Copies of this chain bind each other. A is one copy, B any other.
Amino acid sequence: MSEVYALRRTRLRECCNAGGSAAALVTRPANVRYLAGPAPEGAVLLLGPAEDFLVCAAPAEDRSGQHRPDEALRMHTAPGTGGDPAVEAAGLAAAGGADSLAVEEHHLTVTRHRALGSAAPGLRLADVGGAVEQLRVVKDEEEISCLRIGAEIADQALGELLESILVGRTERHLALELERRLVDHGADGPAFATSVATGPNAGRPGHHPTDRRVEEGDFLSVCLGAAYRGYRCEIGRTFVIGTAPADWQIDLYNLVFAAQRAGRESLVPGAACRDVDRAARQVLDGAGYAAALPALTGHGVGLEIDEDPQLTPGTMGKLDACVPVTVEPGVHLPGRGGVRIDDTLVVRPEADGGPELLTITTKELLAL
């Protein structure tokens, strides 16, 4: 693994050097993890002009193997208590002879940025922008393998829930039950707060579970994911409760299913992100649901559950191979509920069989 991290740091260093900075300070936690491996909370990474440092907040206690950052990195601990590792790192950069330090202005607060400037007054602070986030977009097979295992875990947790009795249980309890099952099957934990939505709540994006109980005739929509070795995937499905779905439920489900399939089928290397969004969106638009649609049809996943690329009408840029994304259109009708279908897939060339579906739970409309 050490070579992987070193190679990623080399790519970032080249990018910073091209921008005129001999040193870079990475503070956003997912970016630190990407470049240095699992690091203690609050750790920051300094790509120095000569040497790289992982700077930690407090003396690293024995963490029983919970954190094993890249051993090729030199570790440095901010002295005293309450010291900011980023400020310490700025001092190290200046002491190492750097005259310019590229920082993550989209992550540092104004207050913290000013403290960096005060700690190393000779250092010019530049902006590294979203350089690390851009490196993270295309995944290697090791990363995809973590996502694949996470997706299997989520499929298992969801499958077990479907075998249990649902009527009468609350959204909150079903969500907690799913999270327990994720851990049972080997997840680090949930990839994000599990969403369970029943009846009029069903299909609402990002719904926070309530005390509403599952009733006969409800739509039930579920969105969950597992974190596995830091990587986060996502699956969403909608079911009906009871033996006979109503006609409007079947029609709405088929429509969202058609939109989601159109989105999935448009995932090819080189496709414009907004064209993927449009493929799914126009199915729903055409049926008169333009106003009921959320802002995005999908997004990248990886060390964070919401990464680039964004699949929206306004996104510039194209999809590359080996980019994992969600495809998750849905329709929510206020007062009635709705449908949401969400998969995680990896963009693959047609020669390799086309998009790789990671979340394989059936998308037939199940009546439970």
Q: How many Å lie between the Cα of A139 and that of B204 in the bound state?
A: 35
Chain B nearest CB, measured from A351 CB (Å): 35
Q: How many Å lie between the Cα of A106 and that of B210 in the bound state?
A: 33
Asked if B312 and A210 sit within 8 Å, CB to CB, the answer is: no
User: For chain A residues 301-325, which have a beta carbon within 8 Å of chain B?
Assistant: 312, 314
Chain B nearest CB, measured from A246 CB (Å): 21
Q: Which residues of B contact A210 (CB under 8 A)?
A: 64, 66
Q: How many Å lie between the Cα of A204 and that of B63 in the bound state?
A: 10
Q: Does A295 contact B (CB under 8 A)?
A: yes
The interface stretch among A15-23, A109-117, A160-168, A281-289 is: A109-117
Q: Does A272 contact B (CB under 8 A)?
A: no
Q: Which residues of B contact A114 (CB under 8 A)?
A: 105
The interface stretch among A172-180, A215-223, A251-259, A354-362 is: A172-180
- Per-position contact with B for A119-150: 1 when CB-CB < 8 Å, else 0? 00000000100000000000000000000000
A81 CB contact (under 8 Å) in B58, B176, B312: B312
Asked if B172 and A176 sit within 8 Å, CB to CB, the answer is: no
Q: Which residues of B contact A81 (CB under 8 A)?
A: 295, 312, 314
Q: Which residues of B contact A113 (CB under 8 A)?
A: 110
User: For chain A residues 49-63, which have a beta carbon within 8 Å of chain B?
Assistant: 58, 61-62
Copies of this protein in the complex: 2
Asked if B109 and A108 sit within 8 Å, CB to CB, the answer is: yes
Q: Which residues of B contact A312 (CB under 8 A)?
A: 81-82
A179 CB contact (under 8 Å) in B41, B176, B208: B176
Q: Which residues of B contact A177 (CB under 8 A)?
A: 180
A130 (CB) vs chain B CBs: closest residue: B111
A65 (CB) vs chain B CBs: closest residue: B210
Q: Does A334 contact B (CB under 8 A)?
A: yes
Q: Does A107 contact B (CB under 8 A)?
A: yes
- Per-position contact with B for A80-98: 1 when CB-CB < 8 Å, else 0? 0110000000000000000
Q: Does A201 contact B (CB under 8 A)?
A: yes
User: For chain A residues 182-215, which have a beta carbon within 8 Å of chain B?
Assistant: 183-184, 200-201, 204, 206, 208, 210
Q: Which residues of B contact A201 (CB under 8 A)?
A: 64
Q: Which of A108, A110, A113, A173 has the most CB of B within 10 A?
A: A110
Chain B nearest CB, measured from A296 CB (Å): 8
Asked if B61 and A204 sit within 8 Å, CB to CB, the answer is: yes
Q: How many Å lie between the Cα of A295 and that of B59 in the bound state?
A: 11
Q: How many Å lie between the Cα of A329 and that of B17 in the bound state?
A: 47
Q: How many Å lie between the Cα of A338 and that of B108 in the bound state?
A: 36
Chain B nearest CB, measured from A128 CB (Å): 11
Q: How many Å lie between the Cα of A204 and that of B210 in the bound state?
A: 34
Q: How many Å lie between the Cα of A204 and that of B66 in the bound state?
A: 13
Q: Which residues of B contact A172 (CB under 8 A)?
A: 183
Q: How many Å lie between the Cα of A228 and that of B314 in the bound state?
A: 39
Q: Which residues of B contact A82 (CB under 8 A)?
A: 295, 312, 314
Pairs A–B under 8 Å by Cβ, sample size 7: A41-B206, A64-B201, A106-B110, A106-B112, A110-B113, A173-B183, A176-B176
Enumerate the 7 nearest inter-chain pairs by beta-carbon distance, A residue then B residue, closest first.
A105-B110, A81-B295, A106-B111, A176-B180, A105-B111, A110-B113, A62-B334
Sample of 9 further A-B pairs with CB below 8 A, known A109-B109, A176-B176: A64-B210, A81-B295, A82-B312, A105-B110, A105-B111, A106-B112, A110-B110, A172-B183, A173-B180
